[in-house]
Every structure is written in C-alpha cells, then in structure tokens.
Amino acid sequence: MVLLPLLATAGWAWPADLQPLLAALRRHRFSVQLAPPPRRGVYGMFDAARRTLWVAPITGELGIARQTLLHEAAHAAQSCPDGVLRPVGWRLPLNPLIEREAFAVQGQAKAVALIVRALDQRCRPASR
C-alpha cells in the first residue's frame, strides 16, 4: 500500500483513480472537506443534512485516506435520495447494514465505480 502524504500539505491532491468519485460527489452536491471531522476521535464523518464528508488530515500519514474517503462516500450514496441512510443493495461479502456496507465497499477493487454508479442512480444532480 502506498502511503499518501499528509493531506494538509500544500499542493496535495487526491490520486487520479479517485477523481471520478470526487466529481460524482460534486455533481450530486456533496462537499468533501480535508479537515478534522466535527466529532472528536474519528478519521472520517458524513453529515447527510449538510451533504458534507470530512476526511481527517492524519489519514494521509496513516495510509487510510483512500479507505476513509470511500467509506464516507458510501454513506453519501446511502443517504440518497432523501437524506436517510439506507443500504444501497450492493452484493458484497458482508451483511448489508449501513456501516457494514460502507466498510465492505471501501475494500473492493471496484469501489470507485460502485459508489459513482450508486450516486448517479440514487442522488439528484445539482441544479445549474
């Protein structure tokens, strides 16, 4: 596993393979914050009411920034269309409960594609 540099470092950018996911999140009016989550003691957080995902800067040093983003993005997809977290219905190796589904998808080789597809199917696009 490649360790990502500290996220707070100037000039840091998400890897190219995560760009489609970040674009899909923006397209569906979600905001990704590279900042400590409002809840202490967590590496990532999703707030459906604010349509915001947080990824703590320390996740870069720990080598878990990718997994954290994927996990919180899975919750974003689960929150569509009405802000209530419900399983997407991915057929993954774990019981499809909200947290288990998010943990299961973050470890899948096709995680970006799965989450982008779920966002596109479940979320309304941003109005222009």
pLDDT for 82-128, tens place per residue?
999 999 988 776 554 687 888 889 889 999 999 999 999 999 877 76
Which residues on adjacent β-strands are paired with residue 78? none
Q: In this structure, what is the dihedral angle of CA atoms 123, 28, 47, 110, given to the nearest 10 degrees?
A: 80
Domain boundaries, the chain: 16-122
- Greater pLDDT, 100 or 2: 100
CA distance linking residue 26 with residue 100, whole number of Å:
25
* Structure tokens belonging to residue 25: 């999140």
Pick the CATH number of 16-122 from 3.30.2010, 1.10.3470, 2.60.120, 3.40.50: 3.30.2010
What is residue 100's predicted lDDT score, i.e. its pLDDT? 81
Number of helices (H) and strands (E) in the chain: give both, helices first: 5, 3
Whole-Å CA distances, 45 to 36, 78, 91: 9, 14, 24
Q: What is the pLDDT of residues 28-51, one digit of tens each?
A: 999 999 999 999 999 999 999 999
